[in-house]
Structure 1
Amino acid sequence: MKNKLSTLVVALFLFGIGLHAQEIKKETTRINQYGQEVDAVPLKTEAQDGFIKWFSEDGNYKMWMDNRVQLDGYMFSNDALNELGNGFMIRRMRFAIKAEFWKNWYGEIDLDFESSATEIKDAYLKYTPDSKKWDFKAGHFKEGYGMETTTTSRYLLFMERSFASTFDPSRHLGFQVNSYGKKLLLIGGVHFNTVGDAEEVEFTKDANKDNGKDEGYSLTGRAVWTPINNTTRLLHVGAAATYRTPKTHWEDGAYRISTRSHSAVNRKKFLDTDDISGVDNVFGYTFELAGKYNGFMFQGEYKEHNVNMIEGVDASFKGYYAQAAYLLRGGNHNYNTKEGEFTRITPGSDKGDVELALRYDYIDLNDFDASIYGGSAEGYSVGLNYYVNPNIKFMANYVYHNHDRYADGKGKLFVGKDADGNLTKDWSNVYDADGKGGDDYGQFSIRLEVNF
């Protein structure tokens, strides 16, 4: 009798385990919208410094939103030669979804809705092996060129990047390999067209449809060495180069360099080479030097940009910037070794931190031998940033611009006064005792930024 009872108890126990296993299977197996049976993994939810993140317990699946809104306001001095309109704008309104899945894979979609227009920023897939020593990217993303340009706008020291950043290629379709060690970062990629700006995409489609033109390609590489890199100290030395063939997203097939003067509210482009036709290739390079010591940081780059022609005289342009900042409440500037750039600060108090920043930048788009008069300019910038918490940031900038007489926006802007004291848009008519000319003015700007 006891043996039969024991057998019955064991049978019931095993039966219970079987039922429990079936229940577990029911809880972890689902039918998707296409009628297929799929495995389901429970996810946890956390607010990590104000950013909502979903992740599995084993860490193989993660998803989070990375959104950003920047509200900017600008006021210009009234001594400018040209009318500059004060105003406010949404500088960036970014919506991004990022995910890690199957342990080694990462995907990202990032869109911008600035000025009520939709633009694709990042859209790519990345594979990282178990060794974590390298990764491979494919899609639309920033090329590995220019420390300031590769730094996300969320962590910029000033509201707008330097003049010289206009030389940097930014986002394009392509493939890229990143190799990173304890002190050395190597980046190499092949890149093609851009899909971000609607106008550029239209140029590409028309060139293909009307003339059957190839889209062109670019080869870009970067190397960064950090002999000193710890919590309070950093020394960063880097260099990058890019070789670029003509792209079909160039309007009418002509290459052109132009940039606004530290403002998206002021739409005037004083600096503009105008269209350069008959380009065989473009070769650019940049040198980087950066570092930190406790709450102090500095960063600078020197860039040259060479436009090589099929026939005629080649053109060469250059630019550079140097900037420094200090956290007044004892915070620390953090550094991302896998990207070779500064990232989010660590504040020095529970009430955030305040940062004082200075910058000098310069660009020269004149090449007199090639008969290109794109203008040159220098900017003197002072910034004050208040990091309220990981999500909220206030910025205030003052920039004084010093343009030369050739910075006339392709002959559309005033660059000085003639011998009779009248404003002129012709640089050759400028009457100035020192022979300089150009529209020089100051601007004050503020930003409210929220990241979530």
Structure 2
Amino acid sequence: MRNKLSTLVVALILFGIGLNAQEVKTDVRINQYGQIVESVQLDAEARNSILTFVSENENYKFWFDNRVYFDGGIFFDGWDKDDVVGVDENTTFNPIGNGATIRRARIAMKVVMHKNWYGEIDFDFSGSATEIKDAYIKYTNDARDFNVKAGHFREGFSMETTTTSRYVTFIERSLISKFAPSRHLGLQVNYMKDKYLLVGGVHFNEQGGFEEVEFSQDANKDNGTDEGYSFTGRAVFRPIIDNEKVIHIGAAASYRTPKTHLEVPNSYRFSTRSISNVNRKKYLDTDDISNVDNNTLWNVELAGAYKNMMFQSEYINNDIKRLDDLSDVNLNGFYAQVGYLLGDGKYNYNKNEGEFTQVSRGSEKGELEVAFRFDYIDLNDEKAGVYGGSANGYTLGFNYHINSNIKLVLDYSYLDHDRYANGKGKLYVGHDVNGDLTKDPREVVEAKGKAGDDYGQLQMRIEIDF
């Protein structure tokens, strides 16, 4: 009897194991809330060393997009200014400290779901602070020529600004990039064909850093203030485009009202650190332009590439309309750059975004690139009484694209600031009649072209994308 009972118990156990094994083999999946959920098999791959999980039909995909940029900078005196009587030779009025920094430390996660839906969230941890960069949802049609996205992302304005930092040619974007709107909350529609690209969107506040969010929330809580809005559009025409060459002709415009993420209500301020993140001085600074009703931006873009040669240029005009019979303000600037790959590599163009993307290396040993850029920005408007300074920038760059993930960058720049580039009254711009340094451009005795801080800077970057 005991043996029969033991046999029965063993049989029941084996039967239970069989049932469990059968359940495991089914496609039914239960989530943490007890709901039956859809299950798709994903395979793990390293695509250009980027860890990617993807389904067989690629309707589902998940991958990381992380970056670390280690930058350093050394600064040198500018041209000789000893033509001023009674002034000792001193070519840089304000001392600049050499240094190093983590320029970017980005962690991003990206996903494609149900074939047509895309999501992205991107954080930056540089500067020992956390900032949201991209956080949005996008729908793309089956033909892949139309998409609409909503969330926090770059507005469709300026070829240089919409290009990811991974693929810009130089360590820092041009001086006029400070005019171009960057990331804001909004809704945007894109329509793409081989010959043209059309972009249009409505945008609101910035939601990247803690301070911007706090300013906006306080304005809403304390005063019930509308957060402002912008309408931005861009059009690109490509009369020539194939695998080896492209001609890009573009234009964009943006109508903008002041946003509540700004510290001073109903104002705009434009400032820049002169193409360096190591040197923290902002020579070019309009200070707060008050009583602003709106501002209008427009630009034109001309770019092209043929095999291992490229050029890119933009002009941006910035018109600021003010209330209470105050004079309107006009600011503007441009840049022009050329690049050349010394090996058998090739410049690549992304027609869906209207920008240059990662270069193709001509050798397993990597690709060496040499480039030159001229910058000009003018933040002065005498009629409006705005003197933010103007500057010319000359940059010679060398990029070594070791592989798809590692890039070494070396840039030498020379910055030539005018007498009004005094960091809203904080920086010296020349000497007075007594030979003493002065921050007041009206007291400067140096000849035109000799006033203002002029200096050279040598910057390097070690970049990894993974």
TM-score by length of 1: 0.94
Q: 1:360 aligns with which of 371, 374, 377?
A: 374
State the secondary structure of the residue aligned to 2:387.
strand
Query: Deviation string for 1:237-258 (max 9, x for gaps)?
Result: 0000000011111212121111
Deviates more, 1:24-33 or 1:245-254: 24-33
Whichever residue aligns with residue 294 of structure 2, its letter is N
CA distance in structure 1 between the partners assigned to 2:261 and 2:458 by the alignment? 34
Query: Does the CA-based 8 Å contact 2:204-2:227 persist in structure 1?
Result: yes
Q: 2:236 aligns with which of 209, 219, 224?
A: 224
Equivalent residue, structure 1, for 2:274 = 261
Asked if 1:65 is matched to 2:77, the reply is: no
State the secondary structure of the residue aligned to 1:154.
coil
Q: In the superposition, relative to structure 1, how do residues 191 and 433 fare at CA in structure 2: closer, same or farther (>3 Å)?
A: closer
Query: Does the CA-based 8 Å contact 2:420-2:452 persist in structure 1?
Result: yes
CA distance in structure 2 between the partners assigned to 1:203 and 1:26 by the alignment? 55
Whichever residue aligns with residue 132 of structure 2, its letter is I
Unaligned runs of 5+ in 2: 1-17, 78-90
Whichever residue aligns with residue 327 of structure 2, its letter is V
Equivalent residue, structure 1, for 2:445 = 431
Query: Does the CA-based 8 Å contact 1:28-1:41 persist in structure 2?
Result: no
Q: 1:418 aligns with which of 414, 432, 440?
A: 432
Alignment of 1:278-427 (within 5 A): 278-311=291-324, 312-427=326-441
Deviates more, 1:249-258 or 1:378-387: 249-258
Query: How much does 1:389 deviate?
Result: 0.2
Whichever residue aligns with residue 437 of structure 1, its letter is A
Alignment of 1:34-113 (within 5 A): 34-78=33-77, 79-113=91-125
CA distance in structure 1 between the partners assigned to 2:188 and 2:24 by the alignment? 41
Whichever residue aligns with residue 234 of structure 1, its letter is V
Equivalent residue, structure 2, for 1:151 = 163
Query: Does the CA-based 8 Å contact 2:194-2:241 persist in structure 1?
Result: no
Unaligned runs of 5+ in 1: 1-18
Query: How much does 1:64 deviate?
Result: 0.4
Q: In the superposition, relative to structure 1, how do residues 433 and 168 fare at CA in structure 2: closer, same or farther (>3 Å)?
A: closer
Query: How much does 1:38 deviate?
Result: 1.2
Q: 1:215 aligns with which of 215, 222, 227?
A: 227
Whichever residue aligns with residue 309 of structure 2, its letter is F
Equivalent residue, structure 2, for 1:30 = 29
CA distance in structure 2 between the partners assigned to 1:434 and 1:409 by the alignment? 19
Query: Does the CA-based 8 Å contact 1:172-1:191 persist in structure 2?
Result: yes
Equivalent residue, structure 1, for 2:252 = 240
Query: How much does 1:80 deviate?
Result: 2.0
Whichever residue aligns with residue 145 of structure 2, its letter is K
CA distance in structure 1 between the partners assigned to 2:424 and 2:374 by the alignment? 25
Whichever residue aligns with residue 297 of structure 1, its letter is M
Query: Deviation string for 1:162-188 (max 9, x for gaps)?
Result: 001100001000000000011110000
Deviates more, 1:307-316 or 1:430-439: 430-439
Asked if 1:203 is matched to 2:202, the reply is: no
Query: How much does 1:330 deviate?
Result: 1.6
Query: Deviation string for 1:216-250 (max 9, x for gaps)?
Result: 10000000011111122110000000000111112
Q: In the superposition, relative to structure 1, how do residues 48 and 243 fare at CA in structure 2: closer, same or farther (>3 Å)?
A: same
Whichever residue aligns with residue 275 of structure 2, its letter is H
CA distance in structure 1 between the partners assigned to 2:414 and 2:142 by the alignment? 50
Identity of aligned residues (%): 57
CA distance in structure 1 between the partners assigned to 2:447 and 2:201 by the alignment? 50
Query: Deviation string for 1:134-179 (max 9, x for gaps)?
Result: 0000000000000000000000100000001100001000000000
Query: Does the CA-based 8 Å contact 1:146-1:286 persist in structure 2?
Result: yes
Equivalent residue, structure 1, for 2:142 = 130
State the secondary structure of the residue aligned to 1:131.
coil
Asked if 1:274 is matched to 2:287, the reply is: yes
Query: How much does 1:29 deviate?
Result: 1.8
Query: How much does 1:41 deviate?
Result: 1.4
State the secondary structure of the residue aligned to 1:208.
helix
CA distance in structure 2 between the partners assigned to 1:333 and 1:24 by the alignment? 53
State the secondary structure of the residue aligned to 1:199.
helix
State the secondary structure of the residue aligned to 1:222.
strand
Q: In the superposition, relative to structure 1, how do residues 257 and 216 fare at CA in structure 2: closer, same or farther (>3 Å)?
A: same
Query: How much does 1:57 deviate?
Result: 1.0
Query: How much does 1:419 deviate?
Result: 1.7
Spell out structure 1 runs of 4+ moving beyond 6 A: none
Query: How much does 1:313 deviate?
Result: 0.6
Query: Deviation string for 1:255-276 (max 9, x for gaps)?
Result: 1111111111111100011111
Question: How many residues matched?
Answer: 433
TM-score by length of 2: 0.91
CA distance in structure 1 between the partners assigned to 2:27 and 2:66 by the alignment? 31
Query: How much does 1:28 deviate?
Result: 2.3
Q: In the superposition, relative to structure 1, how do residues 135 and 239 fare at CA in structure 2: closer, same or farther (>3 Å)?
A: same
Query: How much does 1:44 deviate?
Result: 0.6
Query: Does the CA-based 8 Å contact 2:418-2:449 persist in structure 1?
Result: no
CA distance in structure 2 between the partners assigned to 1:195 and 1:206 by the alignment? 14
Asked if 1:172 is matched to 2:171, the reply is: no
CA distance in structure 2 between the partners assigned to 1:357 and 1:91 by the alignment? 21
Query: Deviation string for 1:355-397 (max 9, x for gaps)?
Result: 0000000000000000000000010000000000000000000
State the secondary structure of the residue aligned to 1:209.
helix
Asked if 1:446 is matched to 2:460, the reply is: yes
State the secondary structure of the residue aligned to 2:127.
helix
Query: Deviation string for 1:65-111 (max 9, x for gaps)?
Result: 00000000001114421111110000000000001000110000010
